[in-house]
Amino acid sequence: MILKYYPMILGLTEKLNELNEKINEMFGSKMDNVFTGTLVLGAILVIAFWGIGELNKHQ
């Protein structure tokens, strides 16, 4: 079963790696600041909790 989706998973992993490299280029020098890192982490948590809430509404 998983072998069927293996090429798609590899493609997704490659896209995520490319996105990670772009993000590192954009924010590499700015992420040394503790305040900026805290804001980014907070934003990620807010988006994650919102997404979980939205997914649970539709069940």
Per-residue pLDDT tens over the stretch 31-56? 677 887 788 889 999 999 999 998 88
pLDDT at site 48: 94
**Residue pointed to by tokens 């907070």:** 42
- Give residue 40's pLDDT: 82
Q: Which amino acid is at 29?
A: S
pTM for this predicted structure? 0.49
4-32, pLDDT tens digit by residue? 777 877 888 889 899 888 878 877 766 67
10, 2 Cβ separation under 8 angstroms: no
